[in-house]
Amino acid sequence: MTDEQFPRPIVTVDIVLLTLSDERLCVALLPRATEPFQTFAGLIGGYIHADEDQDAEDAVRRILKQKTGLDGIFFEQLRSFASAKRDPRGWSVSIAYFALVPKPVLEAAAHTLELRPVTEPGSLPFDHGEILAAAVNRLRGKGAYSTLPARLLPDIFTMSELQSIYETVIGERLDQSAFRRKISDLNLLEEVEGEKRQTERARRPTTLYRLKDPISVFNRRI
């Protein structure tokens, strides 16, 4: 830690904003305002503002607010991508985050975001393709062992909706009976009393639930 003669790399924060659209996991992209890759759609990102951001999470919140209008949504650090070649401007570090947002919340707040299925994101600037892949991987992996996927739903949801989210996140069909049993064993949800509702084509009204804790991690698979 002696040699401060070395030039400092560029440091940015990049956010993989994920949501569910038509039963598919999608990433929200933003047309880039400046060079390099101007006008190309890329991950939501920006520089750290040393004067106003106390830490990287502050920068994430600020950038999300400024560039998408979103506020108070779930996000978590993924990892950093650091190399000489990832940015044409020179040696750079991207501290990557992924964020989860329910589609209705995204639609209410969003400026001009472009949604693309994570399976066919098209061509992305920098190493954003790699960052996206890492985020999806993390969500799929951690999704089976936590309540992460529920962050893609509104606060209040039905058991079927929850199961459906888990199915698209994990990428496999789940048995209804086993799913309900596990969820109830894990004691993650609380019933929203009196609030029954009928889903679109449903006949029988459904019990509604909400999460007890923001994020729970358990040690068996859903």
Partner DNA sequence: AAAATAGTGTCTATGAGACAGTATCGC
Partner DNA sequence: GCGATACTGTCTCATAGACACTATTTT
Token pair of 183, please?
A: 């969820």
Select the binding partner of residue 9 from a second copy, DNA, none (C-beta < 5 to 8 A, by kind): a second copy
Angle CA 87–91–95, to nearest 5? 75
Select the binding partner of residue 192 from a second copy, DNA, none (C-beta < 5 to 8 A, by kind): none
Amino acid at 88: P
Q: Does 146 bind DNA (CB under 7 A)?
A: no
Other C-beta atoms closer than 10 Å to the C-beta of 73 total 18
Residue closer to DNA by CB (options 172, 213) is: 172
The bridge status of strand 157-158 relative to strand 44-47 is unpaired
- Listed ranges 9-17, 56-64, 101-109, 170-178: which one lies at the site for DNA (CB under 7 A): 170-178
Site for DNA in 190-219 (CB under 7 A): 198-199, 201-207
Distance (Å) of CA 194 to CA 106, 133, 183, 197, 198: 28, 41, 21, 10, 13
Q: Does 3 bind a second copy (CB under 8 A)?
A: yes
Other C-beta atoms closer than 10 Å to the C-beta of 209 total 22
Residue 219's contacts (CB-CB under 8 Å, 6 or more residues apart) are 145
- Listed ranges 51-59, 151-159, 165-173, 177-185: which one lies at the site for a second copy (CB under 8 A): 51-59
Token pair of 91, please?
A: 């040696």
Q: Which of 85, 104, 176, 215 binds DNA (CB under 7 A)?
A: 176
Interaction site with DNA (CB under 7 A): 158-160, 174-178, 180-182, 185, 198-199, 201-207, 220-221
- The residues binding a second copy (CB under 8 A) are 1-4, 6-12, 32-34, 45-51, 53-56, 77, 79-80, 82-85, 90-91, 93, 95, 144, 219, 221
